[in-house]
Amino acid sequence: MNAIAHLMRPNSVAVVGASADPSKTSGRPVAYLKKHGFAGTIYPVNPRYDAIDGLKCYPDVASLPAAPDVGVVLLGAERADAAVRELAQRGTRAAIVLASGYAETGSEGAQRQARLLAAAGSMRLLGPNTIGLVNLTDRITLSASGALETEAFGAGNIGVISQSGGIVGALLSRAAASGIGLSKLVSTSNEADLDLADFLDFLVDDDATTVIALYVEVVRRPERFLAAALRAAEKGKPVVAFKVGRSESGARSAVSHTGALAGSDRMYDALFRHAGVIRVNAFTDLLDIPNALASGRCLEGKRVAILTSTGGAGTLVADSLGMAGFETPVPDAATAARLRALQKGDHAVLDRNPIDVTLAGLQPDLLRGAVRALLDSPNFDAVAFIIGSSGLAMPDLMVSAIRDSLPGTNKPVVGYVSPHAPAITRLLNGVGIPALTTPESTTSALDAMLRYGRIGRRNRVSECPPIEFDLSELPVGSLDEAQAKALFSRFGVPSVREVAVATAQEANQAAHAFGDKVVLKLLSNQITHKSDVGGVAIAVPVDAVGARLNRMRDDVETATGTPARAFLLQEMISGGVELILGFHRDPLGTALLLGMGGVTAELIKDTSMRLLDPLTGLAMDDAVEMIRELKTFPLLDGYRGRPKADLDALASAIVAFGRMALTLGSRLVEAEINPLFVLPEGQGVRAADGIAVIRGDAG
Amino acid sequence: MNAIAHLMRPNSVAVVGASADPSKTSGRPVAYLKKHGFAGTIYPVNPRYDAIDGLKCYPDVASLPAAPDVGVVLLGAERADAAVRELAQRGTRAAIVLASGYAETGSEGAQRQARLLAAAGSMRLLGPNTIGLVNLTDRITLSASGALETEAFGAGNIGVISQSGGIVGALLSRAAASGIGLSKLVSTSNEADLDLADFLDFLVDDDATTVIALYVEVVRRPERFLAAALRAAEKGKPVVAFKVGRSESGARSAVSHTGALAGSDRMYDALFRHAGVIRVNAFTDLLDIPNALASGRCLEGKRVAILTSTGGAGTLVADSLGMAGFETPVPDAATAARLRALQKGDHAVLDRNPIDVTLAGLQPDLLRGAVRALLDSPNFDAVAFIIGSSGLAMPDLMVSAIRDSLPGTNKPVVGYVSPHAPAITRLLNGVGIPALTTPESTTSALDAMLRYGRIGRRNRVSECPPIEFDLSELPVGSLDEAQAKALFSRFGVPSVREVAVATAQEANQAAHAFGDKVVLKLLSNQITHKSDVGGVAIAVPVDAVGARLNRMRDDVETATGTPARAFLLQEMISGGVELILGFHRDPLGTALLLGMGGVTAELIKDTSMRLLDPLTGLAMDDAVEMIRELKTFPLLDGYRGRPKADLDALASAIVAFGRMALTLGSRLVEAEINPLFVLPEGQGVRAADGIAVIRGDAG
């Protein structure tokens, strides 16, 4: 058993600084341990008391009759160091430090935190500034959270890891009120030692936990987090995350253009997506979605039957589902006939969706049959059942009618509870039917059940792992355009045809190989904004290219004070769509960015982003998704009679660019293709301009 | 007292079809009237009983000792007609019909509904298919809603009108659970007679109601609705609406291009905006936002102080506010000093925002002082106070501390309750501090308080009411391009300079007046897609225009089989931004549509829309808002070194186009300018092409 297992399931707990007054924060942990049924040994430690609530109280850690598995330290930051050191010296496996006043307060606090960590030595540490942990599976509460005042909690299958103690309390009390069962909750907070990734790794192997919910402020060790999350995906345990910091503006900047569009929160999006983590954006979804996934059911498609006895709430749910792209088709003829056979002689209209049985249809047998008929229909992937005010009078009958319909199908059934009816919500959740209390969360729950099913089916086989490459061949520094594109094409991204020339005469000789009109550019690794200095000429007639070169030489000299010595003569591309392909590296990893070209696309930030897997790069499926995610994707897909673009070649180019980033690793400081022309189907892509910066050593 | 007033506050109520079994739907109304304290006379009517719950029961309406103010009809659709006729004959002021099986079920039901309305004669009717109404101000419940099982309701200031009975029940029970006080609730449902607009009009004058919440499926009489909503705005009573049907796809189609982008739900947006109605998109906002506005406080700016004792929840709220464009600046030096003076010797960091007093700061005096300091600061427009799990132990102290800080300032204070803590939520709402239970709803509430303040300040003075115009001068039918633009310019939208020509010779003579290059187009009122038949030539050198005309004549004849007889020679515009300006008419009214030109803008549906006021047209402020609402507005505003566009001229053109639509009324079938060039500042706008269809009579 490792230290985290001891921390989660200790046989003995020392509570250092325990108070005999349970109304004080320092009085709570001992009181809660007893109240919620901890079966092991509790050692209160406080020189001011001989006993607390019938338990012998020890003056210090040294006096304890045995080393405890876990020490809960309730002392302030000034005295916590000493207690932690004593616990470590006694051989305690792990300590929990609740005090605040550490890294969260600034640099002085950060030093205090470093001292605390040093004092712990090889003993593991949860906190500081944590509210502790709650293991509902085993009825062990190592926490001062006021939410534990609640008399009793039903244990369930959802594990919670939070980087805020207050959020643990909020989720604990909210789950209890809704009858949503949790397994373990831990507040990692300052993460001086044990962090999010450690507990995620633990919960992946915890048999009592089938779904994991995360409240995230920062992922400190992305590789470990990614590894643990991918293990969870392999085991079929959904991980759901709510991350704050979405609105931080301009947290990081990057040199290249696409990088500037990235922003660190989008990197979290990319990280979570890559890890198979379902990111949620409404706080209540952090309970509702894990609860829906804990049912173990997923949607195979987007067609939802809504069964209701009250029109308005059915309409609300249908409208919300429609906004999210779900379909609510009418029942097929056979299903409508089954429904009609259940309910005769009334005005209910059963061949619509929502299927409204009206008040007269609120009979358990009818409901049981109706849910069954809808679940049996090949035209529906899920059933949303609406509970109206009139159901309040007979909650058990209603709930058992739905529950009885579940066996024999894997299709999800969810309940939307329209009035305030916590008793019904708890009953539904208690029998494994996810109960939701807003139309939006009903939609979110079904959407997550759909997405999780797809995560399971995704194809992550990469066709472009890193390749053997002799790094000593690499030019170093800021490459000129020709060098940059030569590098890109070595990894499989084709460029426009081009030739470097120095004089008007060379240009005139070379130009005819490129057609009627050509592009002429300054070639320089110093000047990045060539067009600003008169260094770009488009659609130059081949006969005029020499003269144009001479003029460009003059213009550049006028603008920069230095004569231009080298020029690039390129074929002119027409009929393609311009994109930008770049990469972005930050503490979370390396990501590829694809952007539509043009000023309008730039204004609406029409970009997509995917994390590069550190081992396997980018999968072809991911590249295809990146393309389709662009808001203006139809421009590539035959919109209004345009030719379809060569999407296969574009996807291959993205994957190849990823292979380059992965192969060159930290040697590659910056790289961007802008523009990347995507030609009509079958004609491929061409890098028409690009930059690359290479570092001299792997540093 | 009008019929609605009698309906809302009857002295006597006949309950036709009342059952003695209160567990049946038909047994509820009498039971609820008694339970919730109706002080007037109740006449149960049912030939099967002599008495119900101690009340004399009458065999039929004719036997009643007096005409009741209101009749509540609980009979099924088959027998409701007769009861309604009898009530009308007795002189009852209004009847409520609960039965379903009417227009909501199809055409047969619609006929049944017409018969019901006929039976009512001059008696007013609520329903059918309604759950009735609840007047909490006067403790009068004319309803069978199961939500009335709740023992008692606190009355408040929010009036609710719902087109669904189930939603009335949901809002009633949810409000009671949160301590949100309602005044009146009415379910208008099928609206055979009395509708949304009638009750809105009533509530505007109801002294007990200060905020009005609407659940809307359809606005049947937009003019009456608009008039009532504008009266509410004048009286300073916020109206908040949740409308379903957002996801209906392609409900209406329109001939012109911008019209096709409209869609009926956007018309509701335009109607609500014009009426000063705050539209909400999350169902819980339909209670939370009225509750926030019922505090009577509005934000003057976007700077919010977040005061918390628990870090996580404060971060949640800050993040959510940031996503919505709010600012959470740190306290100014003077305020920080006041905060520090309150809390000494702890690790709390008080010069950040959220301002985290930590657990140690959870003392009423400290909180009172801190809220006061933040409200006094000129750097904050509102305070959001976070209640964490640790506040659960002392709810009254916490709530009274905040409440004591309210007098002497009009700035809003809202509470975010992080754990499940309904008692605290009710306490806060009870003292007029809006309590929210999700970070998103906290943001929505503050956002609504900001928006409502702005609605009050908006300038709706129109500079373009309809003008005198001799409609007999109008050409009729589908106008050609020159006629259409001539019409637009008569109303104040300038066009490109142009001249109609018939021959190459005429073209050659005229061309030099337009500069070096010109535009040549086919002129026809038959062919709308000129470029499809070779009828558009751009940038024609003036010397080549005659030859080009001859070629165009041939091309058009080849494509259409008819020789082209007329052409339009236009100045060529360069350096402008292309927009589309059109209008859209549907049952809700007439709206103007502005769209950015270009295929990308079309793909992302970059359009804005405003309703034309039927009396005053479009205000200049609205035109300016329309322009700024475009996603790619920066293209008009100097983005990346472009020249700033002539926004004043564009706004004037929009207002002028609106004046045209208003003046011509239903004679104008279709009109669109595409493109409308907006030139750099000071150079105005030019309509470069356009269509108009005029009907021969006002029909």
B389 to A217: CB separation less than 8 angstroms, yes or no? no
**DSSP three-state, residue B342:** helix
Given an 8 Å threshold on Cβ–Cβ distance, is A169 in contact with B389? yes
Taking 60 as the threshold, does the pLDDT of residue B260 lie above it? no
Instruction: Provide the number of CB pairs (under 8 Å) joining chain A to chain B.
Output: 218
The CA angle B219-B222-B225, to the nearest 5 degrees, is 85
Q: What is the pLDDT of residue A347?
A: 62
For chain B, what is the mean pLDDT? 91
Residue A262 and residue A585 in contact, taking contact as beta carbons nearer than 8 Å? no
Asked if the C-beta of B104 comes within 8 angstroms of chain A's C-beta atoms, the answer is yes
Q: Is the pLDDT of residue B262 over 60?
A: no
Q: What is the pTM of this model?
A: 0.93
B106 CB neighbours in chain A (<8 A) are: 349
Mean predicted confidence (pLDDT) in B267-280: 94
Would you say A298 and A453 are in contact if contact means Cβ atoms under 8 Å apart?
yes
Quick check: A393 and B106 CB within 8 A?
Answer: no
Q: Which of A106, A388, A603 sits opposite B635 (nearest CB)?
A: A603
Question: How confident is the model over B385-399, as a mean pLDDT?
Answer: 83
**Prior bond to A128 cis, omega within 30?**
yes
ipTM, 2 dp: 0.93
Contacts of B417 in chain A (CB under 8 A): none
Measured distance CA(A313)–CA(A386) in Å, rounded: 7
Whether residue B389 and residue A418 make contact (CB cut-off 8 A), yes or no, is no
Whether residue B565 is predicted with pLDDT greater than 60 in this model: the reply is: yes
Residue B265 pLDDT level (bands cut at 50, 70, 90): confident
**pLDDT for residue A390:** 77
pLDDT of B575 reads 85
Comparing CA positions, the residue from B58, B84, B59 lying closest to residue B72 is B84
Q: Which residues of B touch A632 (CB under 8 A)?
A: 600, 603-604
CB contact under 8 A, A169 and B419: yes
DSSP assignment of A603-645: HTT-EEEEEPBTTTB--HHHHHHHHHHSTTGGGGBTGGGPPBB
Is residue B174 exposed (0-12), middle (13-18) or buried (19+ Cβ within 10 Å)?
buried
pLDDT score at B251: 33
Are A389 and B173 in contact (CB < 8 Å)? Answer: yes
Which residue of chain A comes nearest to B386, CA vs CA?
A: A166
Binary contact (A245, B310; C-beta < 8 A):
no
pLDDT of the residue at A670: 93
Contact B316 A418 (CB under 8 A): no
Measured in angstroms, the CA of A270 and the nearest CA of chain B are apart by: 19
Distance from CA of B75 to the nearest CA of A (A): 13
Instruction: Show residues of chain A in contact with B145, CB under 8 Å.
Output: 389
Q: How far apart are CA A124 and CA A72, in angstroms?
A: 12
DSSP A147-169: GGGSS---EEEEEEEES-HHHHH
In 3-state terms chain B splits into helix, strand, coil percentages (rounded to 5) of 40, 20, 35
Average pLDDT per consecutive 10 residues, chain A (699 residues; last block may be shorter): 91 97 92 96 97 96 97 96 97 96 90 97 96 97 92 92 95 96 97 97 98 95 94 95 74 34 75 95 97 96 93 92 93 92 71 82 83 95 92 81 89 96 95 96 97 74 67 87 95 95 94 92 87 91 94 93 91 93 91 92 90 88 95 93 94 95 92 96 96 81
Read off φ and ψ for residue A74, nearest 5 degrees: -105, 5
Task: Report the range out of A338-352, A501-515, B340-354, B520-534 with the highest average pLDDT.
Answer: A501-515
Q: What backbone phi and psi angles, to 5 degrees, belong to A432? A: 85, 15
Q: Which of A107, A390, A440, A605 should be substituted to probe chain B, the one whose Cβ sees the most B Cβ atoms within 10 Å?
A: A390
* Predicted pLDDT at B135: 98
CB-closest option in B145, B177, B247 to A389: B145
- Could you tell me the two tokens for A156? 């369930």
User: Taking chain B, what is the end-to-end CA distance rounded to the nearest angstrom?
Assistant: 39
The shortest CB-CB distance from B313 to any of A166, A173, A310 is to A166
Instruction: Please indicate whether, in this complex, the C-beta atoms of A319 and B247 are within 8 angstroms of each other.
Output: yes
Q: Which residues in chain A touch residue B310, judged by CB atoms under 8 angstroms apart?
A: 164-166, 169
Split at pLDDT 50, 70, 90, the class of B462 is low
Q: Percentage of chain B with pLDDT > 70?
A: 94
Higher pLDDT, B614 or B51: B51
CB-based contact A599 B639, cutoff 8 Å: yes
pLDDT, tens digit, 9 for 90 and up, residues B623-676: 999 999 999 999 999 998 889 999 999 999 999 999 999 999 999 999 999 999
The whole-angstrom separation of Cα A670 and Cα A590 is 11
Chain A residues within 8 A of B101 when measuring between CB atoms: 346-347
Q: What is the pLDDT of residue A252?
A: 29
Nearest residue of chain B to residue A28 (CA atoms): B390
